[in-house]
Amino acid sequence: MAVERVGFIGLGIMGAPMAANLLKAGFQVTVWNRSPSRTKPLVDSGAKGADSPAAVAAASEVTLSCVTNSADVEEVACGPQGVIHGAHRGSTYIDCSTIAPETARNVARELSARGVDMLDAPVSGGDVGAKAGTLAIMVGGEAPVFERCLPVLQAMGKTIVHVGPNGAGQVVKLCNQVACGLNLLAAAEAINLSRRAGVDPAKMLEVVGAGAAASWMLSNLAPRAVNGDYAPGFMVDLMQKDLRLVLDAANDSHTPLPGTALVSQLFQSIQAEGRGTDGTQSLVDAIAKLAR
């Protein structure tokens, strides 16, 4: 039977538009957020509010979450007021956060013991993709569960790929963050070279972004950096959290990632200035300071 009742936990920069797209797709949506004020726009649009993650799960066939880190996922999934205490047998929990692969596997095991399926389904595409419903979603879990939940994921994303068992979605997301970080570094270096050589960086981006060097970062974040717009589509603090997960996974598998380590150090210089809530396009300033 088709899924009709969907829950969403975590209504931040990414979660709120993702939940809104589920509403637009016709699902009956129940929402919860640690800061209750964030639920109001969605409730005003037709969602139902709940007083805990457990209550969201009790009202839903599929419950999604998009929260900050591994500890948050453990809390909303398996804590005292967690999904595990409200979810019905045969229902599914989908976590769209970026967390440690081992955390995803551990949560999946705990839920499975209660008859609840889990997919780890981190997303990529930033706030732009979340609002447009064009996110890339990499999904770990059992194939039949993925197929059953695909219509839910299609309401939020455009490219949705089942990449393996539980934890595999998180591994692919960490690979995504490696590529994002290095693409950002390339954009930051290109912008700074253009400026110091006396060429308008906006004109540079116009042509370079249409050629072989084209990337999502060049199209979406580089223009913001050129204009001094550091509003976060994705905050530096959150990127650093992800890069720590990347480097931990690299350490576990003895995988050298010198470029990723450098990007993390450059972001640390932004954090040292108290700018951890800026968007990741602020990396351009870290490169600019080296030239001073």
Catalytic residue ranges: 173
How far apart, in whole angstroms, are the C-alpha atoms of residue 112 and residue 116?
5
Q: Find out whether 19 and 31 touch, Cβ atoms under 8 Å.
A: yes
How buried is 51 (Cβ within 10 angstroms: 0-12 exposed, 13-18 middle, 19+ buried)? exposed
How far apart, in whole angstroms, are the C-alpha atoms of residue 4 and residue 152?
9
Neighbouring-strand partners of residue 137: 123, 160
Say which residue the tokens 């805990």 belong to.
52
Q: Find out whether 118 and 64 touch, Cβ atoms under 8 Å.
A: no
Three-class secondary structure of residue 139 per DSSP: strand
In angstroms, the Cα distances linking 222 to 121, 136, 210 are: 27, 20, 13
Residue 93 is encoded by which pair of tokens? 């929990």
How far apart, in whole angstroms, are the C-alpha atoms of residue 96 and residue 13?
13
Say which residue the tokens 């930033």 belong to.
126
Say which residue the tokens 């400026």 belong to.
195
Neighbouring-strand partners of residue 124: 136
